[in-house]
Every structure is written in structure tokens, then in C-alpha cells.
Amino acid sequence: MHGQRGDAPEGLFLTFEGPDGAGKSTQARLLRERLQACGREVLLVREPGGTPIGEKMRELLLDPRYTEMTVVCEVFLYSAARTQLVVEQIRPALLRGVVVISDRYSDSTLVYQGLAGGEDLEVIRKINLWATGGLVPRRTFLLDLEAEKGLLRVRRAKRGIRSAGEDRIEQKELVFHRRVRRGFLELAVREQERICVISADTDASSVHARVWEMVIPLLPVDNCQL
């Protein structure tokens, strides 16, 4: 079956992962601009969301009022949003030869709900394989940052924005966010070929330079100017 490794038939599937505040969205945007400058068509999506159904689920998942939401419920909602995103957006784009960049994907569920949230990792893995039809990114960039620094960045970014309080996940305690960081690093050790760990404790352009170094070998030679 085409697309099991995220590169069917000519498209390229890349994801950014990492703790809150690591700068994934900035890096995803910088990478999109760079690829577009090389003449590649790019689709940038974010999780949870990216489809009408997914955006509804995002509202449910991040609403700070729903303190009673169980971790199992989170697993299903994140995975349900993901299946819509894969079917409606990611697979069709890959089939057209587009580079797809996703700001978070299945690894976030494995880490936030599994390794940090305490639910069964193998069950989550199976649910995600089912939800995505087995679509795995060709390369995942794990932006690594201490939990304290990440949360500080999130708070700073939101300061001054009216009604931009913390969402339900950000409100979790620091110990949880430390487990998230450790969980991502653990996944990276298990899947060294796919997951590249990049320190996010530096300026955005240095992080981008590291990401770009890793992307170049994945592009057809005639497709990018160094």
C-alpha cells in the first residue's frame, strides 16, 4: 500500500513535535516559506484541528471548563480529529505530490495521553494506526525544551492578549509537562531513524537552519537551491 511511510507517491510528510512553547508553529511556518521558495507546493496543518469536524473537537479538547474530561476521552477525540485530517487533507495532498507539514501528529497522543498521561501506550498506538490508516511521517522534528522554559514562553506570548488564558492542557501541573518532555525524548530513542531531536533553546533561525539541513536530503536534487 502506498503512503505507509508518508511519501506516497511523491509527496513528503513531515511533522513537528515537542512540549508546549517549544516553537513548533514558528518552525512549521519557516519551513513552509523555505520550501515554497524552492518551488514546492506545501500544505501546513495543525492538530487538533484542520478540518471543520477537527476544529469542533479542538474546542472541546482545549476548553478549560471541561475539567472532568478523562484521558481516555482525550485519546479518542485527538485520534478522531486526526482521522478526519488524514482523510480530508493529508492523504489527498500527498497523492498530489505536495509536501505536508503537520504541527503535531500521533506522537503527541502517545506522549501527552500515554507516557505522560498514564494510559496504555500499545492501545494508543493501535488506535492511531487505525485512525491514520497507518500513515507515518517520513521525518519528525522533535523540538526539545525544558518544561519550565516552554511554559514561560507560552505565558509570555499570551500576556497582553485579551481572553487568552491557559487552555486545559497548559493548566496541567509542571510535573506533567516534565513528563511530556521526557516522554518525547523516550520516543525519539525508540525511533531514531524517524525522529530528529533538535534543541529549541536557541533562536528561531538557528533551529530552522538545523531543520533545513535535515530536509534537504529528502527533496529531489533539482528541487532546492541550497
Can you give the binding site for ligand TYD, defined by CB under 6 A? 20, 25, 47-48, 62, 78, 104, 108-109, 112-113, 167, 169-170
Q: What end-to-end distance do the CA atoms of the chain give, in Å?
A: 33
CB of 134 to ligand TYD, least distance (A): 17
* Cross-strand bridge partners of residue 101: 14, 44
Shortest distance, position 88 Cβ to ligand TYD, whole Å: 16
At its nearest, how many Å lie between ligand TYD and the CB of residue 36?
22
Tell how strand 139-144 and strand 99-103 pair up. unpaired
Q: Of 94 and 131, which has the nearer Cβ to ligand TYD?
A: 131
Minimum separation from the CB atom of position 75 to ligand TYD (A): 8
130 burial (CB, 10 Å; 0-12 / 13-18 / 19+) is exposed
**Closer Cβ to ligand TYD, 95 or 169, answer by number:** 169
Sign of the Cα torsion 81, 83, 84, 85 reads: positive
Spatial separation of the C-alpha atoms in residues 9 and 198, rounded to whole Å: 28
Residue nearest to ligand TYD (CB): 112
